[in-house]
Amino acid sequence: MINPADAVAAYNQHATPVPSAQTLGDGGATTPVRNFTDILRGTAEEMVQANRVAEKVGMDAIAGRAELTDVVTALAHAESTLQTVVTVRDKMIQAYQEILRMPI
């Protein structure tokens, strides 16, 4: 099985550096450009945060400090975030395997 962290490391090793800001139009306004690793890191951090919120709301519900609808909403958000991360991971692995099959 391919480790997703190895795929990201291989990508970073051979990737062309992305500038930290991109100039838009003649106004000279800049907007930050995120690279692939930053996007993955942000998604993983969002998943961890969603799980922590769901756990906290669940514990609050057990203690009688939260409504059942809050618990269901937090759990649904955590589940949705986890499904997104799993889908991204699967697509990364699939893309990495396609790259490995390419003739040199």
**Cα(54)–Cα(39) distance, integer angstroms:** 23
pLDDT given at position 91: 92
Q: State mean pLDDT over 74-89.
A: 90
pLDDT in tens, 13-69: 665 554 444 444 545 555 566 787 888 888 888 889 999 999 999 999 999 999 999
Bigger pLDDT: 91 vs 1: 91
Q: Is pLDDT at 101 greater than 90 in this prediction? A: yes
pLDDT given at position 24: 46
Q: Which residues make Cβ contacts (< 8 Å) with residue 88, sequence separation at least 6?
A: 40, 43
Paired strand residues for 31: 22
Paired strand residues for 29: 24
